[in-house]
Structure 1
Amino acid sequence: MHGQIIVPFLESAQQVLQMMTTVALTPGTVATAAPDLHSQHVWILIDLKGDVEGQVAFGLAPEMAMKIASAMMGGFELSQFDEMSQSAVAELANMISGNACIQLSNNGMSIDITPPQVQMGESLVQPMQEIAYAVPLELQELGILEIKLLIA
């Protein structure tokens, strides 16, 4: 059952990213995964509360995060992954998660989300969850967005 909960996050990510960027999207396959988060990625973590307890984590390379943030800001050229670009990708994860929780609610599940936390490099805190499901979403020339559902 928990593996199916990640599907609305994938579908929502496809919808939101299609609105924000003009790149072709190719979803991967949902699979069980190690709960660890790669330190070379930027991770946006959102806590899940309610019928499911855990976190959803969105991982992407810093260069990809800057390109997505740039697209979200109307093509404004970014030279570094600063507070403004962190805020943009955090809002992206928030929009994806909010839409996914609406889909889950329509299927009878009640899940609330917390504000997103952006973590990367040395500030990255590894999750305590033991169970993880992951699905990659390829954004053609931008790279791969990894979505991980970390269940308590």
Structure 2
Amino acid sequence: MKAEYINPFLESARMVIEQMIQIRPSTGQLSVRDIKFADRHVWIQIGITGHMTGDIVFGLSESVALRMISAMMGGYVITEIDELGRSAISELGNMISGNASTMLYNQGVIVDITPPKIMDSHFTSGYGAKRAIAVPLIMDGIGEIEIQVLIA
């Protein structure tokens, strides 16, 4: 995995989160590790096809997801992740991935993305052991969202 492939996702995530939530996230420590889907987390999976194939997985705790959804809803306090909340957090992953695919295109890497899927612990148990490049984005007052990149 080349760094220039993950950088568009990090740059896009920082830009989209700043626009949608009005917080500029900072980048945590990059690591390469086995994917582990923690309970009580929201996992958004977006497939990538084209010059590179694989998945981008955004992981965040339910409490962070609630704070992000609340911020996306103009500060209206959300206490549970309902269908509207799932749609909002899915769209956040979609916007990040769409912008990143445009950045990759501008680098000569042509990719398409699949619609976002919210994965729950039942689905993730069958996902299989894979290694990913993982980078957390830290949002002051909200928490962390982790971007996991699995490119074949």
Whether the 8 Å CA contact 2:26–2:137 is kept in 1: the answer is: yes
Partner SS for 2:11: helix
Deviation of the 1:3 alpha carbon: 3.9
Match of 2:22 in 1: 22
In the alignment, structure 2 segments of 5+ residues that lack a partner are none
Distance in 1 between residues matched to 2:131 and 2:79, nearest whole Å: 37
Matches within 5 A, 1:1-150: 1-128=1-128, 130-150=130-150
Partner SS for 1:43: strand
Partner SS for 2:144: strand
Moved over 2 A (4+): 1-4, 35-40, 120-131
How many residue pairs match? The answer is 152
Partner SS for 1:149: strand
Counterpart amino acid of 1:63?
S
Deviation of the 1:69 alpha carbon: 1.1
CA 1:151 to 1:127, structure 2 compared with 1: closer, same or farther past 3 Å? farther
Distance in 2 between residues matched to 1:12 and 1:130, nearest whole Å: 24
Deviation of the 1:23 alpha carbon: 2.9
Counterpart amino acid of 2:134?
A
Whether the 8 Å CA contact 1:101–1:111 is kept in 2: the answer is: yes
Whether the 8 Å CA contact 1:3–1:30 is kept in 2: the answer is: no
Using the size of structure 1 for normalisation, the TM-score is: 0.91
Whether the 8 Å CA contact 1:45–1:57 is kept in 2: the answer is: yes
Distance in 1 between residues matched to 2:23 and 2:114, nearest whole Å: 29
CA 1:121 to 1:130, structure 2 compared with 1: closer, same or farther past 3 Å? closer
Deviation of the 1:81 alpha carbon: 0.9
Distance in 1 between residues matched to 2:142 and 2:91, nearest whole Å: 18
In the alignment, structure 1 segments of 5+ residues that lack a partner are none
Deviation of the 1:150 alpha carbon: 1.1
Share of identical aligned residues, percent?
39
Using the size of structure 2 for normalisation, the TM-score is: 0.91
Deviation of the 1:128 alpha carbon: 4.2
Instruction: Give the root-mean-square deviation of aligned CA atoms.
Output: 1.7
CA 1:87 to 1:128, structure 2 compared with 1: closer, same or farther past 3 Å? same
